[in-house]
Structure 1
Amino acid sequence: EKPRTSVFPLAGVNIDQSMSDERKVVLREVTKELTGRYRCEVSTDAPDFHTTIVSAYMNVVDPLKKEPVLMMEKQSYSVGDTLRGNCTTPPSSPAANITWLINGHKVNASYIVQSVVEGQDPVTIAGLNLAVNTFLGGKLTIVCVADLFQVYSSRAEITLDEEKPRLASVLGNHHQAQGSASSF
């Protein structure tokens, strides 16, 4: 038997009673203005009249409309070069968190400078600055992942080439001398 439910109206909050039950409350048509702390109260009928109240903070996410933009200083690098790049997210609410991956490995935060440009819908910018120490098959795969909690994730990826060293001529510079010849 499904217990009787009473919903107390709150401006801007649309509860889907057909999808809600004693364990969950489903909200419809939420906006980011509804971010905040919510409380749910469940009471039993006579003769006990037990009441349980649970509250939790809810973040309403307005996801990214596009992928992040990933830009690197150069298209090819050598071991020992400094790898520099920027990843910029489109506006979102709240601001996205950026994670960098190089050849599938997460980059330590000490090599990243992340800032948020505040506004109605903030933008996140993360700069990467570290020395290149290895390539995988002559390639570096750089990935920028933009996350909003565990609700939304978007990524941009670029593959950079290992700069091949230029071979010096074994003969060196070749100049023919002009002038007189002598013999011994």
Structure 2
Amino acid sequence: MVVTPYLDTLLLLMVAAAAINDLASRRIPNLLLLSGLVAALVLHSISPDPGAALLSSAGGLLTGFVMFIPFYLVRGMAAGDVKMMATIGAFTGPDLALHIAILAWCAGGVMALGIVICRGRLRLAFSNLWSILRPAVLRLPAVPGAVKESAGSMPYGVAIAAGTIYLLLGRYA
């Protein structure tokens, strides 16, 4: 049984629901992500080569997690975004998870720039960026708490969903 269309359909539904939730409440429900992960594992287990499919799913989960966890650790992203990307990786495997992560970063960058410009906080955003980069550029010791005020937050699940939808719909165009 070919499971790819089912995986893609469920993934599109999951990322759409996650993006809508993130926009509405700034949260991505754990139950949604856990349900998606279980669905991905079940579908991979009934594929023609379940061993390879499950191994690819595990590799995708790990890839999605590893690509986004550094941003969580520096408080640049919420845990739900990391879990969402890991779940997407379980659906897609490592190669597509990497591509989706890159597309999500691009979409997120455009969204972030738009948000700080619309909120009139571009100067603060550049000041914060310089506070973060200055120790590395000037080879100085890092200063804890150098960034005093956030330039704003954004629903990053929307950027992740945009990258996912773009890549998946491109497969069928």
Q: TM above 0.5, one fold?
A: no
Q: Which has the larger radius of gyration?
A: 1
Higher strand share: 1
Q: TM-score, normalised by structure 1?
A: 0.23
Give the TM-score normalised by the residue count of structure 2: 0.24
The structure carrying a bigger helix percent of its residues is: 2
Q: Which has the higher contact order (CA 8 A, sep 6+)?
A: 2
